[in-house]
Amino acid sequence: QAELGKPQRSCYTLPGFDFSYGLYIHRTDGGVPEAIGHWNTVKPRTGLVQKMPRDFITMNRGALKAGYTTAHEFNLYYKAKDIRRKNGEHSHFKRCPPEVPADLTYGITTRSCTSFSDLLQHKYKELWMEQQRALTAALRVEKKKV
């Protein structure tokens, strides 16, 4: 019961030092001798064979050749002639990957390297200044024409 005027504690009392956590399973908890002496292996299931998906394209073609046109007739044909796909037909990887040259690199190409000598000599600043001078000179010539 909560003490008067104090909030309830949000923790539980833990068991004593002699308590061990977890489950003890008699069949498999034999320690190392049990693990070495008995190999519990899973036997493969032979009865579980994956059913291949239906080949609706072939069944639809056959139903049309037989003269069926309504959905009810198609369903009856599906029940009568259950055609399944072949083993490799439903695989997404039935085609080989395209042949590509050995030196082809996917993705975005890297930009050309900037030489350190151009950076140290302020080459890019000089180029920008020349462009600005040419632009202002072109604007002056245009103003004189007006």
Q: Using one digit for the tens of pLDDT, what is the confidence trace for 104-119? A: 877 877 778 878 888 8
**Nearest of 49, 54, 52 to residue 82 by alpha carbon:** 54
What local confidence, expressed as pLDDT, does residue 25 receive? 65
Give the position of tokens 């072939």: 58
**Between the CA atoms of 32, 33, 37 and 39, what dihedral angle is there, to the nearest 10 degrees?**
-30
Higher pLDDT, 87 or 82: 82
- Between CA 125 and CA 119 the distance in angstroms is 9
Q: Assess whether pLDDT exceeds 80 at residue 32.
A: no
Q: Assess whether pLDDT exceeds 70 at residue 100.
A: yes
Half-sphere exposure of 127 (CA within 13 A, CB side): 6
What local confidence, expressed as pLDDT, does residue 62 receive? 93
Q: What is the CA radius of gyration of the chain?
A: 40
Q: Which amino acid is located at 82 in the chain?
A: D
What local confidence, expressed as pLDDT, does residue 70 receive? 92
